[in-house]
Structure 1
Amino acid sequence: MYDHQPRTTTPDDLPEVITRYLTAHRADDSATAVTTFTDYATVIDDGNTHQGSAAIEQWLNQSAGKFTHTIHLTGAQKIDTAHYIATRHLKGDFPGGTVDLRYRFTLRDDLIEHLAIEP
């Protein structure tokens, strides 16, 4: 999917829109999180695709209260100026209890155009 090898970077070097999304998502702030996406963005999470602002907002609202968990950003990578990966460690009352997830971001016009969340 990407032409370049990921390069490790610090979480502080992630673009502002990614940091804003990660912060809002961690706080279950769906209203702020949805503003980080383009109108026609796509999110792939848990095998499901959510496309467009309304579908993404619904996904954010549904996932917000689903499980009690903690989230810690454990790594960041830059592929190029439009592609980034953030790795987060989740621990909580969901099946399995702990997981490291990679959030693969594609940016367009300083917003998130595509987000794929995967182990």
Structure 2
Amino acid sequence: MHDDRFQDIAPTTLPPAITRYLNAHRAHDTASAVTAFTHDAVVIDDGNTYEGITAIERWLGRAASEFTYTTSLTGAQQADATHYLATQHLEGNFPGGTVDLHYRFALRDDLVERLVIQP
């Protein structure tokens, strides 16, 4: 995914809310992952939209239990103070077995307001 607005950054410089979400998601820790989001956050994943903490919590719980997989952060980019892109490599027992996913984050008040996940 190439977007001229985004510049490569060190993954260690991603904002705390993004790092908290990625680490909790990797550990299948839904309770911690959901704390990275604003109360009215929106997540778009696999063509589905999840609005608000309750819907996001259900989505995270389902994603954690549906398949077994490992993730590794393979890249990070920043467009401005509130827009980031993290690329993760997933391997597991889902259809296809491996995929690189782009996590496009928009932040508000140091929390994730919007997350769009796309191949």
TM-score by length of 1: 0.96
Look up the match of 2:106: 106
Alignment of 1:56-75 (within 5 A): 56-75=56-75
Runs of 4+ with deviation above 6 angstroms: none
Task: Give the distance between the partners of 2:96 and 2:71, measured in 1 at CA.
Answer: 15
Unaligned runs of 5+ in 1: none
Unaligned runs of 5+ in 2: none
Look up the match of 1:117: 117
TM-score by length of 2: 0.96
Check if 1:97 corresponds to 2:91.
no
Identity %: 61
Secondary structure of 2:25's partner?
A: helix
What is the identity, as a one-letter code, of the residue corresponding to 1:55?
A
Give the superposition deviation at 1:112: 0.2
Give the superposition deviation at 1:4: 6.5
Cα-Cα RMSD: 1.1
What is the identity, as a one-letter code, of the residue corresponding to 1:16?
P
Matched residues, number:
117
Look up the match of 1:36: 36
